[in-house]
Every structure is written in structure tokens, then in C-alpha cells.
Structure 1
């Protein structure tokens, strides 16, 4: 694979999908996904620290609960997710970002419907308003949210990079297949180490 072209942190956002207590925390409503994603949090934490150091935008795209209504859509996954998230409300424990990943100045953009964060949400307008041109996408899951989000971002004109050690699906082998055979068609696959190495260069801090 050829070296990753320099990604300017001044026009880059790291967007974390559903890195929140109710999904990746100890009381996850998706224990299989939580188990297969246990390695993500340290890698994402290091990447976010590097992003903040060079003033890249850090966004946490969370699911904040259905706001007292029923989950939207007809996807079968809602038969499980709907009852499990019925009592989630903004600020409740399951909707909060994992504390080890949340930093001062980070943006938290919750959604209250849909299966992925670009669906009728403020995410894309906020990114455009901050002058973001490239999105580094991390979090979960490769089963649904990440492929859809990569597609929406790329179709909207953003460059997309996906660090393979900062995303996961379940089972892990399936997630690897999605990353290699679907996500790679729409985004550049990289690693957290490659991005952190870029941003550690003096030129990234100008």
C-alpha cells in the first residue's frame, strides 16, 4: 500500500460513532459487539489525543435515545434495539461518551432516530461549517453504521479515512471482510499509528 498522503489536521475531523456507555461500556446492550470491540478504546484514545494536539475537530456521534417516541424505520434490528433503548434520554448514563474518550472542546452530536449518524442529523452541516474536508471515522460498527456513514460522507464530498484498528464489527471476521470489501471501495484504509505519526511532525502543528 502506498503511503498515506498528508492529512491536514486543520481541515480534518475525527468522528467517533457510538463510543458511548450503552454500546461499548460494561453494561452494553450489544454484548457481542462490546466484546469484539474491546481493543478499540485505547487506540481511539491515542488518536483523539493526537488530533486535539494539532487542533483537529473531534466529534462524538452518539445515539441519545428515541426522545420518548418509537425508533424510526422498519429494520429488523429495531426489534432488539427499540426495547433496549426505550428509556434512554439525553444525559442518561447509556447515552454518555466513554469518559476516557471525551475531552474538553470535543463536540457531541447525538441523534434520536435512524441507524447511523448522517441520517437527517446535524453532523454534515456542522462539519461543513467548521471547514472540514476530511473525516477520519472510528468506532462502531462495521455491521451497519460505518459503511452507511462512509457512503454518505463520500457522496457529500468529504474525503474519508478509516483506521482499521479503530473500527470493529461482530463477529470480528465479518467486520474485517466489510472493511476490506466494502469500506475500502469508498474510503482510504489506514491505521491510527500512521495518522498519529503524521500529526507528530512539526509541519502538522503550524
Structure 2
């Protein structure tokens, strides 16, 4: 998993990559006489944690290639990450349609990948910290960015069911929403056929 890095780490990565590429190992001492000891530790910690460097041996490192980094920045992380959350949530709207229809309707691509998630209003601080800690952009009620992001919808109560380890709105509610939008006709028909009487 790759995450974005701060400017100071980006400059250091550029130096390491231009100097060593992805094949040649290097040490933290490459930054001696350039930055302070504490800044050096901060740079290496940031690059390792974000997945831009890998540790080879006890004191040597190698750069991850830029193509792998950029691909990693746009990979889908939210479905696995949200399973680790300790507060209630439920995928809603188009995200619920997507999950209930076994992804026969997909609203995402590498360019734009929104997830619509209801959370309890009282837990908003927790969710902000959770997504900040995991470098996932999020917005409250509406917003957009490149790649994967969350639209948090704070509510007073949540009704959720489990599907493949994810909490989502009940099938009936999701079907109703899908039936009201022609774009989701294929997903609606898929769900009706798959779940039959359970969907009624």
C-alpha cells in the first residue's frame, strides 16, 4: 500500500531515486551534512511508512519505482481498511447498490472512486482521525477528488447488515434506491434475480 508523502520526503525520494534508481541500495548517511539527524529520521520514517522505500538489510534501503508508487496511490484500499474500524458505519446509496449487486454496477475507476458511508454524528471525530491516519481523503455529505475518497454522511442512527465483512444498508432499501434511477437498472434486475423473495 502506498500513501502520499509530505514535500520534505518527496524531495528526499527524488534525490535517492536520481542517485540510486531502484536497484542500488543506500544508507541514511546519504543525507549526512544535508539535514539534521532528527530530520533524517523523519524523512526515512515517512518514506518507509508511505511505501516509497523498502528496507533491504539492517541499515540499507532501496527506492520503490515511481510507476509502482503511482499505481499504489490509486489502488482501492477502503473496503479492506474500513473492516478494521471500531465504530458503526454502513455503506449507503450507490455504494450499497455496488456491493449488493456483487459489483455488477461499478461506480469507480482509478480516476474517481467515491464511497458513500453513513456514520453516527457522535462518531464524526473518530472517523476523521481514522481516515486521516490512513491517508484516505474524505468529505462531509459531498465532495470530490482524484482517486479513492469517502463521502461521510453523519446521521442519528444506522441500520446495517453484513455482506462479505462489510456493513451495508439492507437489501430492500438498496433495491428501492436502485429502482428509482434508470442508470442502475442492470444492478436492480441483477439483485431482484439473485435474491428473489428476499428482495421483495
**Normalization by structure 1: what TM-score?**
0.22
Name the structure where helix makes up a greater proportion of residues.
2
**Normalization by structure 2: what TM-score?**
0.22
Q: Which has the higher Rg, Structure 1 or Structure 2? A: 2
Q: Kindly indicate whether structure 1 or structure 2 has the higher relative contact order, using CA contacts under 8 Å at least 6 residues apart.
A: 1
